[in-house]
Amino acid sequence: MALTPRLDLRQSQQLVMTPQLQQAIKLLQLSNLELADYVAEEIERNPLLETASELPGQVEISGETGEGGGTADDTYIREEGTGNDNNDGMIAADTSMNAAVDTTTGNDTALDTDFQDNVFNNDAGSDTATSIAETNASGSLSYDGSSQSSSAGGFSDDRSFEQTLEENENLHDFLTRQMAVLLKTQGDRLIATHLIDMVDEAGYVDQEQVQEIAPRLGCDQEDVEAVLLQLQKMEPSGVFARDLSECLAIQLAEQDRLDPIMQKFIANLDLLGKRDMAGLKRVCGTDQEDLTDMIQEIRTLNPKPGLIYGSESVQPVVPDIFISKNKAGVWIVELNTDTLPKVLMNSHYLAELEDISGGKEAKTFVSDCVANANWLVKALDQRAKTILKVATALVKKQEMFFEYGVRYMKPLILKDIAEEIDMHESTVSRVTNNKFMSCSRGMFELKYFFTSAISSASGGDAHSAESVKYRLKELIDAEEPKKILSDDKLVALMKAEGIDIARRTVAKYREAMKIPSSVQRRRQKNMG
């Protein structure tokens, strides 16, 4: 072999992450809100792009949507309404069961064992009704934003959710307004201003931060404490407390109910959290009847008074996919077109730019804008069709869940869906990230349907971890106060139903659902 330099030609293949491919991957994992922000940024950079209802001189450049979500299993997935524009892209998952749909909500709310949620019952139950409007071209990239929602009186309100919100006074402004009337000297107001800035959203202040005010302002700690006592008289009752006991004491003092026995009671709230009634009676020196009255009394108080003046508005989760069932027993999977941006190109402006005799750089810029616009539309269209494919495959795999509830959910991994739609697992993972599905059983993130498998004790089909949690909670909710089920007893009951589960797994699932131990549940139910 000669040790001399020479030239060789070699051929090789490799995957190159082009900017276009990186953009398509990025769009796939964005949520609907992030997608809207991304498209807005592209429109700002590209003068040819617009997003609005069609106006004269504008041409829609969204790509053709093919058979949305079509898979090789045509006996299960079929396109609905072929030839009808109102059903284009809608996928029907044909089921083989004709049983009536059980509309019982399968989304269980975890039991919170924190002290405040155990003692205070302040959660007002409300039924949230989801109105699913008729969609046009469900599988298409673009949609007509001029749809109207009319009421019984014929009134049409086209405002967005954000436009209907009112600007309420927040806790900081409310306290500042009261402080200006309550305190007279400039020094006290300066201390109070610092204290108001330290109040968290629940209405509490941190003791360590309070102690830092005196050295910072060059005043005595007694002055800070005096101002703090004055601020604790303000509304809402209980603000500026340094802990839960002080918050309750402030409210009880205003009601003239802070007697010595009550002071001992609120000073030992940890015993109440543990349901140690015997210890509380011993510390307070009272009987069971008086202790029950005190418990009922503090339940009427507000442990987080500052939340009444919360300044942040709650943004509802907007579903990306709608799941419904028609009269023929066919599951309909459709995209929420309101979450898909409508991208338009101003053809008049493009014609004007082409007529202008500019230099080479100007022509290159216009050409790049047109190419980027077309590629953006293709990427958005591919994203919509991929989401539809994954959602359709999920409905097929978890058909029993949509029919009968969480107890019948099957174990599922990303590989199962990837093989079903002939895509890579990473693609399925990106699609299911921050995407939500709305069905008759509630709103679920797509990742909710992917659960690990629990083997069957009888050698049959494996059980989904989510269905095992649901059954575990059912058994605990149905237990009697005198027959509290231990973890060992729960294991025996689960194995009797064909679920091979270990005791440590039961404990792990119970803690994940924030269900207390059998000892704590016995105390809780006896007190109830």
Greatest pairwise CA separation for the chain in angstroms: 103
Instruction: State the pLDDT confidence band at 528, using cuts at 50, 70 and 90.
Output: low
Q: What percent of the chain has pLDDT over 90?
A: 8
Average pLDDT rounded to a whole number, residues 486-509 = 88
Work out whether strand 436-439 and strand 321-325 pair parallel, antiparallel, or are unpaired.
parallel
Rg (the chain; Cα; Å): 31
Higher pLDDT, 348 or 5: 5
Confidence label for 376 from pLDDT (cuts 50, 70 and 90): confident
Is the pTM here over 0.85, yes or no? no
- Residue 102 CB-density burial (10 A; 0-12 exposed, 13-18 middle, 19+ buried): middle
| 125-156 residues labelled b (16+ CB within 10 A) or e (exposed) | eeeeeeeeeebbbbbbbbbeeeeeeeeeeeee
Mean local confidence (pLDDT), 92-110: 33
Residue 352 has pLDDT above 70, yes or no: yes
d(CA 417, CA 409): 15
pLDDT at 18: 77
Residues 202-228, mean pLDDT to the nearest whole number: 88
Residue 321 has pLDDT above 70, yes or no: yes
pLDDT for residue 391: 93
CA distance 305 to 312: 15
Q: Is 459 left (phi over 0), alpha (psi -120 to 50) or beta?
A: left
Lowest-pLDDT choice from 9-23, 120-134, 513-527: 120-134
Q: Residue 44's pLDDT is what?
A: 87
395 pLDDT tier (thresholds 50, 70, 90): very high
* Residues 108, 291 contacting (CB under 8 angstroms): no
Q: What is the pLDDT of residue 156?
A: 43
Pick from 85-94, 160-169, 377-386 the range whose average pLDDT is largest: 377-386
> Rounded to the nearest 5°, which phi and psi values hold at 261?
-65, -40
Q: Strands 463-464 and 453-454: what pairing?
A: antiparallel
pLDDT confidence tier of residue 51, bands split at 50, 70 and 90: confident
Q: Is the pLDDT of residue 410 over 60?
A: yes
Q: What pLDDT does 378 receive?
A: 87
Query: Per residue in 126-157, pLDDT tens?
Result: 333 322 223 333 332 232 333 333 333 333 44
The region of weakest confidence among 110-119, 185-194, 376-385 is: 110-119
Mean pLDDT (the chain, rounded): 75
Neighbours of 408 (CB within 10 A): 18
More confident residue, 54 or 374: 374
Give counts: helices (H), strands (E), the chain. Answer: 22, 11
- Residues 255-279 have pLDDT tens digits of 888 888 888 888 888 888 877 888 8
Residues 234-249 have pLDDT tens digits of: 898 999 999 999 999 9
For position 389, what pLDDT does the model report?
Answer: 92
Dump strand ranges (E) for 241-353.
Answer: 321-325, 330-335, 344-346
For the cut 50, the answer to whether the pLDDT of residue 86 exceeds it is no
What is d(CA 162, CA 453) in angstroms, rounded to the nearest whole number? 42
Q: Which amino acid makes up residue 148?
A: Q
186's tokens: 């400039």
- How confident is the model at residue 8, as a pLDDT? 84
Summarize the confidence of residues 80-103 as an average pLDDT.
Answer: 34
Q: Is the pLDDT of residue 35 over 50?
A: yes
Alpha helix (H) residue ranges in 322-410: 347-355, 360-397, 399-404
- CB-based contact 371:365 (threshold 8 Å): no
Q: Provide the pLDDT for residue 464.
A: 82
Q: pLDDT at position 89, please? A: 33
Give me the percent of the chain exceeding a pLDDT of 70: 74
